[in-house]
Structure 1
Amino acid sequence: MITHIAGIIAAVAFLLLVCFIGIFLVRMTKTMGEVNRSLSSITDDVDALSHQTENIMSNANELLKDVNGKVATIDPAFKAMGDLGQSVSDLNAATRELTAKVGKNNEKRSKFSSATKVGKAAFDVYRNRRSKNNSEES
């Protein structure tokens, strides 16, 4: 009888084990089904994103070509502005040189003018003395 009871207990345990394994497999099947649906949804989303990305890249390429064309059109204007800037710099340098030369010439003229004034004053003094001497002699 004990063997019968042990057999019944083993059969009940085996039945419980089969039920739990069955429940586990049913849940696992549902989970795998959800994973498959999620993967399918992700695949569809990635395909849509891929098409949108291709459109964006195409638009970006067209925009880049347009910008390059406009830059090529404007490039001579920028080159002309650069040349104008260089010309202005050259003009400023030439103006500084001219100003320096004029300043040096003014200094020389100033010295010459001072020497001329001193010479004229000396000549006037000499003439005055001579005229005094001539008037005293007469």
Structure 2
Amino acid sequence: MSGAEVAGLIAAIAFLIIACAIALIAIRIGGVTREIKDTVAEVNKSLDAINAEVGPLTHEVEALLTKSNTLLNDVNGKVAAIDPVFTAIGELGESVSDLNTSTRNLASKVTNGAKESGKVAVAAKVSKKALSLLKKKPADQEAVTNGK
């Protein structure tokens, strides 16, 4: 064998190795491609099932949102109707507070004036006498009224 024949034989073997490597790579790529194809088919089936379920769910969510908006509008209307009641209650509280203050002031003035003039003792005696008359039996009251 000459040098050219050996070189040709080496080139042929190298070409065969390269062809085998390319064939192996092609076979593996074909397997991966089949798996990807199967995965894409499963994904499409899953998406179809999800899309079939999303449609009715979307309609129910829209109906729920509509009902929620109606309920919220109703509550807002009722709160607006109740606002004057709370305002009136607040004003009533202020009026009661003012009345309490006025009553305290009046009681203070009456007490101070009565202490100075000694009328408190007289008023206490009169009120005790009136209470004792009210507590007596009706027959006793007639006797008191008639002067007995």
TM-score, normalised to structure 2, is 0.67
Q: Offset at 1:80?
A: 4.1
| Superposition deviation, residue 56 in structure 1 | 2.1
Say what the alpha-carbon RMSD is for the aligned residues.
2.2
User: What is the match of residue 110 of structure 1?
Assistant: 111
Structure 1: distance between partners of 2:52 and 2:96: 64
Letter in 2 for 1:95: V
1:85 matched to which residue of 2? Answer: 86
What is the match of residue 24 of structure 2? 23
Describe the SS at the equivalent of 2:70: helix
> Which AA in structure 2 matches 1:114?
K
The farther-off stretch of 97-106 and 9-18 is 9-18
Query: C-alpha offsets along residues 45-103 of structure 1, whole Å, 9 cap, x if unaligned?
Result: 23332333332222111011122223334444433443333322222111110000111
Equivalence for 2:128 = none
Q: What residue number does 1:46 align with?
A: 47
Could you say what secondary structure the match of 2:114 adopts?
helix
Residue segments in structure 2 that go unaligned for 5+ positions in a row:
120-148
* Corresponding letter in the other structure for 2:32: T
The CA distance in 2 between the partners of 1:80 and 1:106, in whole Å, is 40
Aligned-residue offset at 1:16: 1.5
The TM-score, its normalising length taken from structure 1, stands at 0.71
Whether 1:99 and 2:106 are equivalent positions in the alignment is: no
Q: Give me the whole-angstrom Cα distance separating, in 1, the residues matched to 2:58 and 2:84.
A: 38
Identity of aligned residues (%): 19
Deviation at 1:25, TM superposition (A): 0.8
Task: Give the counterpart letter for 1:112 in structure 2.
Answer: G
Q: Which moved more, 1:41-50 or 1:97-106?
A: 41-50
Distance 1:7 1:27 in 2: 30
Matches of 1:74 and 1:104 in 2, distance apart?
A: 45
Q: Distance in 1 between matches of 2:11 and 2:71?
A: 87
Task: Tell me if 1:59 matches 2:53.
Answer: no
Pick which of 34-43 and 92-101 moved more.
Answer: 34-43
Q: CA deviation at 1:7?
A: 1.5
Aligned to 1:8: 9
